[in-house]
């Protein structure tokens, strides 16, 4: 096997992720951080690989002391108007996340949509749209194209966005990384 093939693919993925993350509006990111800091609980909903990225973000935010919940978990508490729902959906048209977003809005919660398509079925119930303008199944002209299969770039940048914002929240909370271990699972 030619080892340079591996390094070539690494450069493609890392380059695409960097380009996509740098295309996210930092003013919107600041608004996102403020909504999280003021929330009583933060709920996450998505499907497929997007849900896997959201679960990782949820866990990391929990390490920051945020009451973070994945919609549908057996221990999911009731949502209130003091809470935030983060919806991960590239298209913004996926049935389950759209239905949950509408329900959360009826409850009075703040709805944040992280996606790539600004013209979607959640616009009416979204308080903040964080756009990661990457290639989607919609093939919009202004999307960052990817050499990766399907919507891999969205799922990767979503996960990295979560880690970047976790660092921002940590810094704004004046916490030390060593202090986070108190929130880490200890039944290992």
Could you tell me which residues are beta bridge partners of residue 70? 44
* Residues 16, 33: Cα–Cα separation, whole Å: 24
Catalytic residue among 16, 119, 124, 155: 155
Active site residue 40: no
* Residues 60, 36: Cα–Cα separation, whole Å: 13
Cβ-contact 84, 42 below 8 angstroms: yes
- Which value, to the nearest 10 degrees, does the dihedral of the CA atoms of residues 101, 97, 123, 93 take? -160
DSSP code of 61? Answer: H
Question: Which positions are annotated as active-site residues?
Answer: 155
């Amino acid at each position: 096997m030619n080892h340079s093939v591996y390094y070539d693919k690494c450069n493609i993925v890392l380059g695409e992720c960097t380009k996509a993350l740098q295309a996210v509006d930092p003013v919107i990111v600041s608004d996102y951080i403020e909504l999280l800091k003021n929330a009583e609980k933060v709920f996450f909903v998505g499907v497929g690989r997007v849900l896997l990225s959201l679960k990782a973000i949820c866990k990391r935010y929990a390490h920051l002391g945020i009451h973070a919940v994945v919609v549908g978990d057996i221990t999911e508490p009731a949502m209130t108007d003091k809470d935030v729902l983060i919806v991960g959906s590239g298209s913004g048209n996926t049935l389950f996340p759209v239905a949950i977003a509408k329900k959360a809005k009826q409850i009075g919660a703040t709805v944040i949509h992280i996606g790539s398509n600004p013209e979607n079925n959640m616009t009416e119930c979204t308080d903040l749209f964080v756009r990661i303008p990457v290639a989607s199944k919609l093939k919009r002209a202004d999307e960052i194209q990817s050499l990766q299969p399907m919507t891999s770039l969205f799922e990767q940048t979503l996960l990295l966005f979560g880690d970047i914002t976790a660092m921002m929240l940590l810094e704004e909370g004046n916490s030390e990384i060593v202090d986070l271990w108190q929130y880490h699972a200890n039944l290992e």
